[in-house]
């Protein structure tokens, strides 16, 4: 269910936005290697362009990955405003059991502001040690990884630090991040149905794990653009917004990199006087105060700087500071193009390979995915059922012939994607073999299985993923 629209819709030129420049952006995306899932451009609090690349749609939440960090910071800002803590509080003061045993001077010197600015002094992200040494108590794992440098002297992007922020917010409020944010921020913004992954100790991950819709992200960005105001109601302290989005620490010297313009409170500074929250594989909430604009993009890419370069090349010049003449031709073309965006050829290519010839259970040789067997079974309505077996579980999904079929299925490459909503499609012929596409449509990920038969009894499977095509897994098996 999509909540009531929170933004008015407007023709781009009515908000001094060039439709022809936006068309060039859409064309540049089509010509690029970037798999964009959605975009929404807001100018003067009005949506002037929005689109979803089918099978993605406005009603679907999307994994935010590290864009979640900006929401964690927002929860901390609210707790600060309520007087529950200060940025200069020692981190150990929130964990009495650890305070009694930790002696390392860098851990004892660490303050909340060091967590939120990624300046804990660590020279590598201790997230792996946190998970391994913490067991079911990740916060304990953090204190087993003392920083190499004094807090405040070194910037390092640090997932474990953000996790600890979430633990602190939960400790001082008695609520996890999602429950604390909902009445204070998310519900007023019209964000409902949000889901946030939780650690074994019952703490929202903080550094990742949040899923919301494209327009939800736009509302969040607009809240920050409005200095904490939403529809006349103050949700965030104005001073918090200013401090969170300015450069608090230096993080590089490359003038052409949007990862070297300074770091705030879990927000990145960008070129062109902008700032953003972002997440792995191309999840962006880009706020451009000088242009009074917010751009949201969700995607499945492995070159985030390349996508931002296209934004600066095409979207930034579209945002004029002066009135623009009406452009009916470009407006009509943009209105026509945006609803027709898609990631696949439509209709999909037919499946002409004989299902009777390939059906059966195939026992696989040991492989990285720990899949022991694969079974292909035609369904009565002409589709193909795929089943994989590991030593722990069995999972199956119907792969549509001629159209995607919905189901749930685990990732065959990424161990953390379990029983995800998926759209599955089967295509191919005797020459090319069988191609199965698995679109995990609430995430950046799409996986492709290419199956071939060197002889009637031998199966070969190549498994690839859109965001890292170099990660290729090869399975071999024999028909039983």
Distance (Å, whole) CA 362 – CA 459:
7
> Is residue 385 located within the same domain as residue 334?
no
Specify whether 336 is located in the same domain as 368: no
- 185 within a domain of the structure (yes/no): no
Q: For the residues 353-365, what does the mean pLDDT come to?
A: 93
Provide DSSP, 237-270.
-HHHHHHHHS--B-----TT-TTSS-B-SS-EE-
pLDDT score for 469: 79
Same-domain status, 82 and 19? no
The yes-or-no verdict on residue 4 having pLDDT over 90 is no
Check whether 3 has a pLDDT greater than 60: no
Report the sign of the C-alpha dihedral through residues 56, 60, 66, 69, in that order: positive
Instruction: Provide the greatest CA pair distance for the chain.
Output: 71
Burial 17-34 (b: 16+ CB within 10 A, else e): bbbbbbbbbbebbeeeeb
CATH of the domain at 219: 3.40.710.10
Q: What's the pLDDT at 424?
A: 96
Query: Residue 377: inside a domain, yes or no?
Result: yes
Is the N-terminal amide bond of 347 cis, ω within 30° of 0?
A: yes
pLDDT digits (tens, 9 = 90+) for 200-236: 999 999 999 999 999 999 999 999 999 999 999 999 9
State residue 205's pLDDT score: 97
pLDDT of 346 higher than 80? no
Q: What is the mean pLDDT of residues 7-29?
A: 98
Do 328 and 224 lie in a common domain? Answer: yes
Tell me how far apart the alpha carbons of residues 57 and 77 are, in angstroms, rounded to a whole number.
32
**170 contact partners, CB below 8 Å, separation of at least 6:** 176, 177, 180, 203, 204
Range from 47-51, 129-133, 389-393, 430-434 carrying the lowest mean pLDDT: 129-133
User: Is 193 domain-assigned?
Assistant: no
pLDDT in the model for residue 410 = 92
Q: pLDDT, tens digit, for every residue of 366-391?
A: 998 889 999 999 999 999 999 999 88
User: Does residue 35 have a pLDDT over 90?
Assistant: yes
Is there a single domain that holds both residue 52 and residue 81?
no
**In the listed set 161, 177, 193, which residue is the last one of a domain according to the structure?**
177
pLDDT of 1 above 60: no
Please check whether residue 163 is in contact with residue 203, taking contact to mean a CB–CB distance below 8 angstroms: yes
Per-residue pLDDT of 431-461, as tens digits, reads 889 999 999 999 999 999 999 999 999 999 9
Domain end residue (candidates: 177, 204, 233): 177
Tell me: pLDDT of 422 over 70.
yes
Q: What pLDDT score was predicted for residue 350?
A: 82
Assess if residue 194 is contained within a domain: no
Domain boundary among 177, 203, 236: 177
pLDDT value for 28 = 98
Give the separation between CA 367 and CA 447, rounded to whole angstroms: 17
Read off the pLDDT band of 125 (50, 70, 90).
Answer: very high
Instruction: Return the pLDDT at 136.
Output: 85
Do 125 and 228 belong together in one domain?
no
Matching residue, tokens 């995990």: 440
Compare 319 and 417 and report the one with higher pLDDT: 319
Q: What is the mean pLDDT of residues 21-39?
A: 97
Question: Do 384 and 445 lie in a common domain?
Answer: yes
Mean pLDDT for 23-50 is 97
**Mean pLDDT over each residue of the chain, to the nearest integer:** 95
Q: 327 and 387 share a domain?
A: no
User: What is the pLDDT confidence band of residue 59, given thresholds at 50, 70 and 90?
Assistant: very high
Does 132 map to a domain?
A: yes
The count of structural domains within the chain is 3
Question: Is 147 a domain residue?
Answer: yes
Residue 460, domain CATH = 2.40.128.20
In angstroms, rounded to a whole number, what is the distance separating the alpha carbons of residues 397 and 416? 18
In whole angstroms, what is the distance from residue 305 CA to residue 312 CA?
Answer: 10
Identify whether residues 97 and 166 lie together within a single domain.
yes
Q: How far is CA 48 from CA 8, 36, 285, 339, in A?
A: 9, 18, 16, 14
Q: Give the confidence band of 416 by pLDDT, cuts at 50, 70, 90.
A: low
Predicted confidence (pLDDT) at residue 69 exceeds the cutoff of 70: yes
Domain that holds residue 74: 69-177
State whether 331 and 219 are in the same domain: yes
Could you tell me what percent of the chain has a pLDDT over 70? 98
Q: Rounded to an integer, what distance in angstroms lies between the CA atom of residue 248 and that of residue 241?
A: 13
Show the CA angle centred on residue 454, arms to residues 453 and 457, nearest 5°: 65
3-state secondary structure of 365: coil
CA 161 from chain centre, in angstroms, equals 19
What pLDDT sits at residue 129? 81
Same domain, 45 and 75: no
Average pLDDT of 75-86?
A: 98
Establish if 197 belongs to a structural domain.
Answer: no
pLDDT at 334 over 60: yes
The predicted structure's pLDDT at residue 134: 65
Local confidence band at 2 (pLDDT 50, 70, 90 cut-offs): low
Mean pLDDT computed over 267-278: 98
pLDDT of residue 45 exceeding 90, the answer is yes
- Residues 367, 439: one domain? yes
Question: How does strand 210-212 pair with strand 229-230?
Answer: unpaired
Residue 237 dihedral angles phi and psi, to the nearest 5°: -60, 135
Let me know if residue 2 belongs to a domain.
Answer: no
* pLDDT, mean of residues 257-275: 98
With a CB cutoff of 8 Å and minimum separation 6, the contacts of 237 are: 77, 80, 81, 228
Helix (H, G, I), strand (E, B), or coil: what is residue 470?
coil
């Amino acid at each position: 269910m999509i909540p009531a629209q929170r933004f008015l819709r407007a023709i781009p030129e009515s908000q001094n936005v060039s439709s022809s420049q936006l068309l060039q952006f859409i064309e540049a995306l089509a010509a690029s290697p970037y798999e964009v899932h959605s975009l929404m451009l807001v100018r003067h609090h009005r949506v002037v362009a929005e689109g979803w690349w089918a099978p993605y749609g406005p009603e679907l939440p999307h994994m935010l990955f590290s864009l979640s960090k900006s929401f964690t910071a927002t929860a901390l800002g609210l707790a600060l405003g309520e007087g529950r803590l200060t940025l200069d509080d020692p981190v150990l003061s929130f964990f009495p059991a650890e305070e009694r045993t930790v002696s390392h001077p860098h851990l004892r010197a660490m303050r909340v502001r060091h967590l939120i600015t990624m300046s804990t002094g660590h020279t590598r992200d201790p997230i792996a040690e946190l998970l391994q040494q913490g067991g079911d108590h990740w916060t304990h794992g953090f204190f087993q990884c003392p920083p190499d440098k004094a807090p405040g002297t070194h910037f390092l992007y640090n997932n474990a630090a953000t996790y600890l922020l979430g633990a602190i917010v939960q400790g001082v409020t008695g609520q996890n991040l999602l429950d604390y944010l909902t009445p204070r921020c998310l519900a007023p913004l019209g964000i409902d149905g949000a889901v946030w992954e939780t650690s074994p100790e019952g703490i929202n991950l903080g550094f990742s794990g949040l899923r919301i819709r494209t327009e939800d992200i736009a509302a969040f960005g607009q809240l920050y653009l409005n200095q904490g105001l939403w529809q006349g109601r103050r949700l965030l302290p104005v001073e918090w917004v200013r401090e969170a989005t300015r450069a608090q620490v230096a993080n590089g010297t490359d003038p052409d990199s949007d990862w070297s313009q300074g770091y705030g409170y879990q927000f990145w500074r960008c070129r062109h006087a902008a700032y953003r929250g972002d997440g792995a594989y191309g999840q962006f909430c880009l706020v451009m105060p000088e242009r009074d604009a917010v751009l949201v993009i969700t995607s499945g890419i492995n070159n985030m700087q390349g996508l931002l370069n296209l934004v600066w090349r095409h979207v930034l010049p579209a945002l004029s500071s002066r009135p623009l003449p009406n452009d009916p031709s470009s407006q009509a073309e943009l209105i026509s193009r945006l609803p027709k965006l898609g990631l696949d050829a439509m209709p999909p290519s037919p499946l002409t390979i004989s299902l009777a010839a390939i059906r059966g259970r195939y026992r696989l040789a040991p492989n990285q995915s720990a899949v022991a067997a694969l079974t292909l079974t035609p369904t009565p309505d002409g589709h193909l059922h795929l089943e994989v077996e590991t030593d722990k579980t069995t999972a199956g999904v119907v792969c549509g012939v001629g159209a995607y079929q919905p189901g749930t299925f685990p990732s065959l490459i990424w161990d953390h994607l379990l029983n995800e909503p998926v759209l599955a499609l089967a295509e191919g012929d005797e020459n090319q073999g069988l191609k199965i596409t698995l679109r995990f449509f609430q995430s950046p990920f799409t996986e492709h299985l290419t199956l071939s038969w060197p002889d009637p009894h031998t199966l070969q499977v190549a498994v690839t993923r859109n965001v890292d095509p170099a990660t290729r897994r090869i399975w071999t098996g024999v028909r039983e």
